[in-house]
Amino acid sequence: MSVDRVVQMSDVVIRPLGEPGDLGWVVQAHGEIYAAEYGWGFPFETLVAEIVTDYATTRLRDADGREAAWVATVDGERAGCIFCVRGDDEATAKLRLLLVAPSGRGSGLGGRLVDTCLDFARSAGYKRMVLWTNDPLVAARHIYLARGFQLTGSEPHNTFGTGDVLSQTYELDLTA
């Protein structure tokens, strides 16, 4: 799938990230939504900002077409996002920053975003995809498991300042 492809389903559009305000929206939406729903504060928002900054600077200096990000809109308003970035080796992609805002939930938007990311990773030649998430994110975990991701590791952390959270690493063979 080309990163330039726009996916439209009824009033939901999944488009390549790149319009003015997209990068800032990703950081702001993650910060506000995760603070409201899980109490995750500045350390979490900082992590998101670092991921977004790394993506933006990598795309500027190394535009080889193996990294991409998308923003979903519902009725013209941003309501979700997902990133596909290079992993630790040339065969591995990382799924990053899946988010579906409350306005986009219940429509299958999260699954559509993940499917868009997986299709891109396969077309970019990746052999596997990994992701890192946290146990309170039940809806996201359901999406990942439904697409065949396997849990490969977990450990508690207190990175977000709200007590211990169980981090989880998942992996998917993209050639199967």
Structure confidence by residue, pLDDT tens digits, 80-106: 999 999 999 999 999 999 999 999 998
pLDDT range class, residue 8, cuts 50, 70, 90: very low
Beta strands in 23-164 (DSSP E): 68-74, 77-86, 92-100, 128-134, 150-157
* Per-residue DSSP letter, 19: S
Query: CA-CA-CA-CA torsion for 103, 101, 36, 130, nearest 10 degrees?
Result: 160
Q: Is the pLDDT of residue 121 over 80?
A: yes
Q: Mean pLDDT score of the chain, rounded to an integer?
A: 91
Those residues whose C-beta lies under 8 Å from the C-beta of residue 55, and which sit 6 or more positions away, are 67, 69, 83, 85, 96
Q: For the residues 149-172, what does the mean pLDDT come to?
A: 86
Those residues whose C-beta lies under 8 Å from the C-beta of residue 136, and which sit 6 or more positions away, are 38, 165
Whole-prediction pTM: 0.91
Bridge-partner residues for 82, per DSSP?
70
Q: Are strands 165-173 and 128-134 parallel, antiparallel or unpaired?
A: antiparallel
Angle, vertex CA 27, rays to CA 22 and CA 30, nearest 5: 115
Q: What percent of the chain has pLDDT over 70?
A: 90
Q: How many other β-carbons are positioned within 10 Å of the β-carbon of residue 49? A: 18
Can you give the pLDDT at residue 64? 81
Q: Is the pLDDT of residue 59 over 90?
A: no
Taking a C-beta distance cutoff of 8 angstroms, is the pair 72, 112 a contact? yes
Q: Which amino acid is at 69?
A: A
